[in-house]
Chains A and B, each alone.
Chain A
């Protein structure tokens, strides 16, 4: 439950940033966005090969005229747990490939699965998408302690997105959001096979005629289960006991072998 105030705080912080982009915002939009998922916790076993997560939602206080013209667009993102990520590039030094330059991006999602009514790039202007931070090309990638001239920035950001996409951690599904009645919609986001453990956030964005007007977010806990995850948890949470047990196993194995195969 501690996630909720944090989430509200995050929303509160996200809005001023969006407002900067929307300087010419005329009035408060009446539309509201509601979403729901059947669970706030997903258990994943070790043979998990990826799955679809369906999110239902509705636009409230919509303008029927705009709706029939198809002016409303919805983008739903499943953001994985965040962490700092370092991108490194190799260069040849005396014939050997060596990691030379690097850039660390602050608190980027480990995974990112996007679903929208149509290609995100056609929904709104890039500046607007950058402001909201939605879309693989537009999520915030701010370097830690960066003092460069900015020319490297594009290089490392592009490399980061490319690596995340080719690794299957970042994916998009233009057309994954479908209206099932006038204002009711269904969004399908993909959980990759390598979905990271931890608290994810389902974040839905409503655009009206290319303008971002509302957002709604829900937390989703992804919990891996099974013996592999138990071992992994032990390695991280009880590392001393884990290390001691590894040594114990080795001692017993070696000792047993010397008893079983003793020659005299």
Chain B
């Protein structure tokens, strides 16, 4: 393992995450897998790294008052339950030898979907800019099925009155992804909160970061105690390079035009997904593999 490659990886992903305001976990874990780090370690270490990259963001949102702690706590309740279930699935997949496959498959689906959506969105934005059309803010119907669910609760900071069922459910789903894929899940949670739950945009990012910190921290501890798969040295190098890279990414991102950058990130995400997909299809060098069960250690 070359420390400079890891530093570079962390800095590059940190830079991108700062530029686009994404967590970066969904890039770090596949990159580590490409670098021949075992997927089980890549996932657990990725979750650890996301803790660091989310803290500074959450702190600045907290200072600015754009963090709904009550809403975040409800999300977190679902998140912790989801992460617990996720770790259980993780251990089960590992014992039947399908963990690496499932991690890769999930990443192919996730990166493929996110990359395609981002690319389409940025192409649409570029076209709009070219024809000088004003950005049309779609205003879909105020109420959907989500808002007819029972168990409503008032979230003062977000100024909404919402059922806790979809909030807990969203947290739960993201929690599963965190423990199986080592991602924070902000890139799914943020759009879901905005479009599905209609939570005001200004509190969405801070609140999702708040829940991500706790769910990834919890996942790190549980991975460390059940699978011994957190590599603290690897994680530390990644997080230091990542938080520094993110600061410069933010500065560069503010000066450049968003649409082209988004299209570039989308292409990068698609490329990472494609590489993982190719690895699944290409005939492996050796069809056989051997693992020590570690039962007598």
Contact = CB atoms under 8 A, between A and B. Distances in A.
Nearest to B291: A86
Contacts of A84: 292-293, 295-296
A217 to B, nearest CB: 19
Contacts of A235: 224, 228, 230, 232
Interface in A223-264: 231, 235-236, 239-240, 242-247, 249-251, 253-258, 261-262
A159 B48 CA distance: 36
A253 B296 contact: no
B290 A85 contact: yes
A258 B221 contact: no
Contacts of A257: 52, 55-56, 243-244, 246-247
A262 B62 CA distance: 13
B51 A251 contact: yes
Contact of A88 (B230, B233, B289): B289
B202 to A, nearest CB: 18
Interface in B191-245: 213, 217, 220-225, 228, 230, 232-233, 235-236, 239-240, 243-244
A236 B297 CA distance: 9
Contact of B288 (A81, A83, A88): A88
A101 B101 CA distance: 14
B289 A99 contact: yes
A11 interface: no
A240 B286 contact: no
Contacts of A104: 293
Interface string A71-94: 000000000011111111111000
B287 interface: yes
A262 B60 CA distance: 9
B283 A97 contact: yes
Contacts of B243: 253-254, 256-257
Q: Which of the four size classes fits the interface of chain B?
A: 35 or more
Interface string B29-61: 000000000000000000011011111100110
Contacts of B51: 247, 250-251, 254
Contact of B225 (A83, A88, A239, A256): A239
A254 B290 contact: no
Contact of B221 (A83, A90, A240): A240
B281 interface: yes
A110 B292 contact: yes
Interface residues of A, number: 47
Contact of A98 (B59, B101, B244): B101
Given A87-B290, A257-B243, A97 B280 contact: yes
Nearest to A258: B56
Contacts of B97: 86, 88, 99, 102
A70 interface: no
A253 B236 contact: yes
Given A86-B291, A95-B281, A97-B283, A239 B224 contact: yes
A90 B221 CA distance: 32
B140 interface: no
A174 B196 CA distance: 70
B98 interface: yes
A96 interface: yes
Interface in A154-170: 159-160, 162-164
B224 A246 contact: yes
Interface centre among B55, B222, B240 (most CB of A within 10 A): B55
B284 interface: yes
Contacts of A246: 48, 220-221, 224, 230, 232, 235
B294 interface: yes
A96 B283 CA distance: 9
Contacts of B240: 253
Nearest to B100: A99
Contact of A90 (B52, B236, B287): B287
Contacts of A160: 290
A87 B105 CA distance: 22
A198 to B, nearest CB: 8
Contacts of A82: 296
Nearest to A163: B290
5 contacts: A90-B284, A162-B288, A251-B213, A254-B56, A257-B56
Q: Which 3 A-B pairs have the closest CB atoms?
A: A254-B55, A243-B224, A258-B56
Interface of A: 81-91, 95-99, 102, 104, 107, 110, 159-160, 162-164, 231, 235-236, 239-240, 242-247, 249-251, 253-258, 261-262
